[in-house]
């Protein structure tokens, strides 16, 4: 029981970290791309 709870917590933390890293990379890419050449 304890192992599964710890595994679930690590799974959730890992998913959140991956999602936040992806969002940060996407925002940074869009920011630099729009600053370099105006696409809007």
- Give the per-residue SS3 of 7-39: HHHHHHHHHHHHHHHHHHHHHHHHHHHHHHCCC
CA 32 to chain centre: 18
| Count of structural domains within the chain | 1
Mean pLDDT of the chain: 87
Does 22 score more than 90 pLDDT? Answer: yes
| Domain assignment of residue 11, given as a range | 1-40
- Name the pTM for this structure: 0.59
For residues 34 and 40, is the Cβ–Cβ distance under 8 A? yes
CB within 8 Å of 40: residues ≥ 6 apart:
34
């Amino acid at each position: 029981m304890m192992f599964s709870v710890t595994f679930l917590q690590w799974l959730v933390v890992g998913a959140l970290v991956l999602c936040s890293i992806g969002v940060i990379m996407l925002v940074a890419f869009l920011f630099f791309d729009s600053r370099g050449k105006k696409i809007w």
